[in-house]
Structure 1
Amino acid sequence: MSSSPSITRISECFVKPPHDHLSPEEKQPIHFTPFEMLALNLNYSQKGLLFAKPPKNQDFSITTFLDDLRRSLSATLTHFYPFAARLATRKQQNPPSYVIYIDPENSPGVKFVYATVNATVSDILTPADVPLVVHSFFDLNKAINHDGHTLPLLSIQVTELVDGIFIGGSVNHLIADGTSFWHFMAAWSEIFRSKKDPNRASISHPPVHRRCDGSDSDPIINLPYTHHDQFIERFELPLVDKERFFHFSSTSVSKLKSKANSECNTDKISSLQAVIALIWRCVTRVRRLPPENQTSCRLMVSNRRKMNPPLSDYYLGSPVQVVIATATVEDLMAHGLGWAALRLHETVSNHDHSKVKEMVEGWNRRPVIYKMSQMVEGWNGIHVGSSPRFDMYGCEFGLGKAVAARSGGMNKGEGKITMYPGREGGGSMDVELCLGSELMMDIECDEELISALMIN
């Protein structure tokens, strides 16, 4: 691979549902909850899958494959129709009102891009660090969620490599979190593989469209603004030098979980909490911060099962919240893995329906749109997104199991952690870590991390 292979865009189009299928109810505006409104200034979420091309002795045509992708995508949008729409803002002076919503009747479609790159699957997977070209496998770079007024809420880019195919999705966080995005991808893959008539294509798990925020009422949010310039900020996080994947085998994960629970004489700590606790300790160690400094671990938590009654796993939206575990550097380093994992467990466990309701009702009383610059100022910690529980590798599109899952360059800063399931399953995990060059060199030599990674 050349030092900086470049993407060549071959074509782009917009994909709509196969016909004007919306019922009068489905044509109604879709209003957001506070969970989604808080993300107006965030970038689009970018996740995708890398596949090996079928062997040359198989009858594979990229033209036919793209046609089948577009046809099945159109059928999938029958069920996920908000993805084809755009945002809208309704303003009025008397009484003052500023409401942002999804307008299903304004439905230009999902953007579909076909591109090529002179790189191989090995070029992407072999280097220690994720090659920068991977960021070019995604569309809508630098777009923020508020841009969904004019930009597509979902853009799919299919990039053909020399011996592989990458299918990358850039999705507006106001319409989907990771759970909803991978639900959509699974439904698309299911329809693709079924080869059914797009007009009659059904899916195993249809999305639930009615928005819910867990409060006693279902208010339409009136923002305290008259123009988007009053709350929109295009803040770019400082470019992170290195993105690297660390693979934890199912045995390694199991032993970390057992170690964490044993140290705390409990059985409540999850595998995910044990792995994140390890990364939190290792990153904090190589930063060499003063012992009295505070360090934090921010976790993106889905509120679906936190609410009472719980939301469906197929609820379409982004009902997520950040919960934060904190500790002094001295405490985090002086105590063991179990102590850190238990902090995470308690933080997640204490985030229950009453906490969700308290946040929603407080925000509804005084709505405010956060700015990224305010969120990262003076922060020492890690921020964890995505989940190894997402069935990424179940999305096959007729190409067999993906060889890897990757993310784009958006919403990444120093200390960003992205979690993935390991390709072999069985509870294995992949952790994508973003750090500066010197810190990444140091963490490669961290004994606690090395000993965990060497367990097969």
Structure 2
Amino acid sequence: MVSSPPLVQHESTCTVKPRVALPGTPCHLTPWDLCTLSMHYIQNGLLFSNRHSSLPADDAVRSLETALSIALLHFPPLAGRLVSEIAYDDEGQPAGMHAFVVCGDRGAEFTRAVAKHITVADVLSPSDDEPSFVEAFFPLNGVVNYDGRSLPLLAVQFTELADGFFLACSFNHAVGDGAAYWHFFNSWAEIARNAGAGGLSRPPVHERWFIDGRENTPLTLPYTHPDKFIERFASTAISSLVWRSITRARDLPPQKKTSCSLAIDNRHRLRPPLSPDYFGNSVDIIEATATAGELLAPGLGWGAWLIHQAVADHTDRAVREAMTAWMAGPAMYKLSGHDTCGVKMGSSPRFDVYRCDFGWGKPAAVRSGRANKYEGKVTFHPGREGGGSMDLEIRLEPECMKALQCDEEFTSAVCPPPELEII
């Protein structure tokens, strides 16, 4: 069966650089800037109807690209990249990390997309839920600000609709806040409507404020590796959702203890770290526990915090202590020893599954067999469509599976709705 094409299709992506080459000058970041490094980019977009005009999309794109090349002259940090480097103490020992922006002519990303089957009315749907296709209007979904070391600090997507346009910007939050974001967006619009003539009505001020006047010296972050401060929120939020939903489907008594355990990779947690290409086992099991009542009473974030804390606590020291304990009293993993009231997360959505090309093209899907499966086992896979999506295989007793499919919190987060498969 041939799948239908996506509603939003990318036609081209290019780099727009400042009209005049800019020097690679550093822009040191304030504490207000640095504290956003683990947050996502700011994403906003504007919907335009061409009901009263017939501006060809080609002309609109040319105008936007030209205006953007001029706007980047006024906002040089947005044409640069984030840089991080180890900071050393007076004895030459790693003492932390510097992070700053190097302005220059690396440029911003401009993507052109087409969604000819989506109308302005579709975007303005009166439904309480935002249409799922809107997410596809934005570039750099799921990206955190620290990723600006290799990704553009500004990415734009122009999507042509059946009867209008959608213009979206993803803007690195370490460069500026919401006010700065809209200052740029409006300045870009001003340049476009004036066809590049004249200056800006509100020129930006780029001198950053530091309480101790150290604008020419980067601040030292107390980290020597980004793993110590960068959070990728998707996995623990999903684990919390599944843990809560399965606990509710099992109808456990409020006082009953339940756990969520995860297989965790030790390679990058050891100091010094193992190579990512290390061939062999380097995995521990970590666990978050609570009573069913504790888990289900607060919101989703409480369970996610428990899981996050278990992950954060699994440091180099914890890895070494676990190894020492095992050496003193070796034990084997047993399928019969799992928590019948708990949930076990296995595999990973980070595994590079879909590049396994034997000359026959990209795999159509990934599934796992019955090995190492038991009631309460959840297996993660990356979604074929990428972009941070993931597929989950969940093994439950039939009555629990049916209850899970009726769980509103769970089904509202799953698209398409889950299908019942008893394995």
TM-score range, shorter chain: 0.5 to 0.7
Q: 2:27 aligns to what?
A: 30
TM-score between both structures, scaled by the size of structure 2:
0.52
Structural mapping, 1:208-223, within 5 Å: 208-215=205-212, 218=215, 220-223=218-221
CA distance in 1, matches of 2:211, 2:203: 21
Q: How many Å apart are 1:213 and its aligned residue?
A: 3.9
Name the count of aligned residue pairs: 245
Alignment of 1:49-60 (within 5 A): 49-55=46-52, 58-60=53-55
In structure 1, the residue matched to 2:123 is 124
| Aligned-partner SS, 2:74 | coil
The answer for the alignment partner of 2:69 in structure 1 is: 74
Instruction: Check the 8 A contact 2:22/2:103 in 1, yes or no.
Output: no
TM score, norm. by length of structure 1: 0.49
CA-to-partner distance for each residue in 1:41-81, whole Å, 9 max, x for gaps? 111111011110143xx452111110010000111111011
Q: For the structure 1 residues 375 and 167, does the alpha-carbon distance in structure 2 shift closer, same or farther, using more than 3 Å as the test?
A: farther
Q: Distance in 2 between matches of 1:78 and 1:229?
A: 34
Match of 2:43 among 42, 46, 60: 46
Cα deviation, 1:253-312, whole Å, max 9, x if unaligned, reads: xxxxxxxxxxxxxxxxxxxxxxxxxxxxxxxxxxxxxxxxxxxxxxxxxxxxxxxxxxxx
Change (3 A) 1:69 1:375: farther
**2:7 maps to what in 1?**
6
SS of structure 1 residue aligned to 2:159 = strand
Instruction: Name the structure 2 match of 1:63.
Output: 58
What SS does the aligned partner of 2:113 have? strand
Q: Is the 2:97–2:220 Cα contact (8 Å) retained in structure 1?
A: yes
Check whether the contact 2:148–2:172 (CA below 8 A) recurs between aligned residues: yes
CA distance in 2, matches of 1:49, 1:375: 35
1:163 maps to: 163
Who wins on radius of gyration, i.e. which is larger? 2
| Match 2:230 to one of 219, 229, 232 | 232
- Aligned partners of 2:137 and 2:168 also within 8 Å: yes
Paired position in structure 2 for 1:445: none
Q: Deviations over 1:177-227 (max 9, x none)?
A: 110010001101111000135xxx410111110111445655631112222
Match of 1:140 in 2: 140
SS in 2 for 1:160: strand
Cα gap change, 1:99 to 1:65, in 2 (>3 Å): same
> Structure 2: how far apart are the matches of 1:207 and 1:79?
7
Specify the alignment match of 2:173 in structure 1: 173
The one-letter code sitting in structure 1 at the alignment partner of 2:188 is W
- Does the Cα contact within 8 Å between 1:86 and 1:104 map onto a contact in 2? yes
Q: Secondary structure at the match of 1:192?
A: helix
The alpha-carbon deviation at position 33 of structure 1 amounts to 1.0
Letter in 2 for 1:133: F
**Match for residue 202 of structure 1?**
199
What's the offset of the Cα at 1:39? 1.2
Q: CA deviation at 1:230?
A: 2.6
Aligned to 2:183: 183
- In structure 2, give the amino acid aligned to 1:150: S
Give the gaps of 5 or more residues in structure 2. Answer: 239-300, 307-386, 389-406, 413-423
Residue matched to 2:79: 84
1:39 aligned counterpart, secondary structure: coil
Instruction: Tell me, yes or no, if the aligned pair for 1:89 and 1:101 is still in contact at 8 Å.
Output: yes
Q: Report if the CA contact (8 A) 2:30-2:209 is conserved.
A: yes
Instruction: For residue 375 of structure 1, report the CA deviation from its aligned partner.
Output: 12
Partners of 2:212 and 2:305 lie apart in 1 by 31
Where in structure 1 are there 5+ consecutive unaligned residues? Answer: 240-372, 379-408, 411-435, 442-456
* Within-5 A mapping of 1:19-418: 19-22=20-23, 27-55=24-52, 58-95=53-90, 96-105=95-104, 107-117=105-115, 118-128=117-127, 129-196=129-196, 201-215=198-212, 218=215, 220-236=218-234, 238=237, 377=305
Letter in 1 for 2:119: T
- Report the secondary structure of 1:186's partner residue: helix
- CA RMSD across the alignment: 3.4
Q: Conserved in 1, the CA contact under 8 Å of 2:123 and 2:134?
A: yes
Deviation for aligned residue 1:232: 2.0
What SS does structure 2 have at the residue aligned with 1:377?
helix
SS of residue matched to 1:77:
helix
Contact 1:17 1:78 in 2 (8 A): yes
Higher relative contact order (CA 8 A, sep 6+): 1
Q: Is 1:148–1:172's contact at 8 Å kept on the other side of the alignment?
A: yes
**Overall identity of the aligned pairs, in %:** 37
Partner AA of 1:19 in structure 2: V
Deviations 1:398-431 (A, max 9, x none): xxxxxxxxxxx99xxxxxxxxxxxxxxxxxxxxx
Matched letter for residue 113 of structure 1? T
The alignment partner of 2:220 has SS state of coil
For 2:133, give the aligned amino acid: V
1:81 alignment partner AA = P
In 1, distance between residues paired with 2:208 and 2:174?
A: 12
Select between 167-176 and 213-222 the one with higher mean Cα deviation.
Answer: 213-222
Q: Give the conservation status (yes or no) of the 8 Å contact 2:87–2:220.
A: no
Paired amino acid for 2:55:
F
- Deviation of the 1:231 alpha carbon: 2.2
Q: Secondary structure at the match of 2:170?
A: strand
Taking the aligned partners of 1:375 and 1:36, their CA distance within structure 2 comes to 29
CA distance in 2, matches of 1:5, 1:121: 17
- Structure 2 counterpart of 1:116, one-letter code: V
For the Cα contact (< 8 Å) 1:32–1:100, is it kept in 2?
yes
Note if contact 1:31-1:101 (Cα within 8 Å) is conserved in structure 2. yes
Q: Distance in 2 between matches of 1:94 and 1:112?
A: 41
> What residue in structure 1 maps to residue 18 of structure 2?
17
| 1:97 to partner: Cα distance | 4.9
Whether the 8 Å CA contact 2:49–2:164 is kept in 1: the answer is yes
